[in-house]
Amino acid sequence: MKATVERNEMLANSAGPTGRASWHRRAGILPLAYLAALVAVALTHPFLPSWRWLAIHLLLLGAVTNAIVVWSAHFTTAVLRCPAPANRRGESVRLSVLNLGVVGVLASGVLDQPLPGVVGASTVFAAVAAHLAWLAARLRAALPARFTVTVHYYLAAIGALLTGIPVGAWMLVADGDSRPRLLLFHAHVNLFGWVTLTVLGTLLTLWPTVLRTRMADGAVTAARRALPIAVAGLAALGIGALAWWPPLAAGGLALIATATLLTALPAAQAARHKTPASFPSWSIAAAAAWLLVALSVDAFTLLSAPTPAAAADRFGAVLVPLLVGFVGQVLLGALAYLLPMVLGGGPALVRERTERLDRNWPQRVAMANAALAVFVLPAPPYVRITTSLLVLTALLQFLIPAVHVLLASRRQP
């Protein structure tokens, strides 16, 4: 019970008189804007060159990276019990630089010109490196705290991204022979490093809070044990992909799966104590299951591919469950819980926002996951079109009320 109170206090303090609610009203629009752009791309993709590349980067580099930068700063301040910053100028500058870089990378893909991409990737690198320095400074200045391991996950995740960004920029000017290995390294390190490590670290405290129950005994210990296993797996995966040694890469995936299961066991214990009963909880739970599916499919793909080019061509089979099943659902689930909490206005408004974002949640979760399960199986084109439209509908059912919640909160005094 004490841990539950601590976590609720950490989130409740974010909406106090420190300006955090106002900050999240402004920063919260960034992931939603990229998700709206993703919807636009999905609806107009027959007329867009390289639309798959654009959609992937709108989700990962746009929506997910902005969300991670904003919320990792929020959770770092919360778990370390740091004093609220006097102003948000530093965070605003980092986000501005980050999004200038994102626009450059996206423009490079649309225009098929490497220079904007290299400049944009360098700009993103600078913004993320500054974010790393900010997190490390907060960690050094903080007193020992129970959930410090969450910040260690963030630092490891940023290290992975800072490794993956230069490789992505290198791909823009590399010759054809090296591109498949660079692509495999870039995709794996960013997805299983930057995204997955951040998610595992955040869910330590977020998951029981979403369930409104106490944290399972041993959850912090499990998270501490899982982190070095995940980092070792990520290193093996990256080296195996770059050197094209599939057994090493598959072994790295197995280590990441082991780390995921280590953190999932106490999460499952918390869920047995309090059954998930909301859109955020079921969306996050479904995302965890799709992560394990994606890890399995990825290992099979790498081990069965005769060449790096073949593995790169087959990576699309991994991307669908990984991006839509895992990344997309965990992003929407986390935002659906966090946005109502941090926008201020008191308990009544928090309940009203939560109810709006939870509306029709059983239908949304069931429809999205059933459609995705059908999509990943061999099926005729018209079935794939139908299932993709159902997934898009589920995204819109989140996006429209989320935008409404943000815009309504801006009219608050």
Encode burial over 324-357: b for 16+ CB neighbours within 10 A, e otherwise: bbbbbbbbbbbbbbbbbbbbbbeeebbeebbebb
Higher-confidence residue: 380 or 4?
A: 380
**Nearest residue to 264 via CA among 297, 290, 243, 240:** 290
User: With bands split at pLDDT 50, 70 and 90, how would you rate the model's confidence at 326?
Assistant: very high
What is the structure's pLDDT at 111? 87
Angular region, 147: left φ>0, alpha ψ -120 to 50, beta rest: alpha
Helix axes 381-410, 329-342, angle to 10 degrees: 10
Alpha-carbon Rg for the chain, nearest whole angstrom, is 20
Q: Which domains does the chain have, with CATH numbers?
A: 2-410 (1.20.210.10)
- Specify the pTM: 0.93
Q: Which tens digit of pLDDT belongs to each residue from 12-61?
A: 444 443 467 788 888 889 999 999 999 999 999 888 888 999 999 999 99
Q: Residue 17: what residue type?
A: P
User: For 303-320, what is each residue's pLDDT tens digit?
Assistant: 999 999 999 999 989 999
Say how far apart CA 343 and CA 185 lie, in whole Å: 38
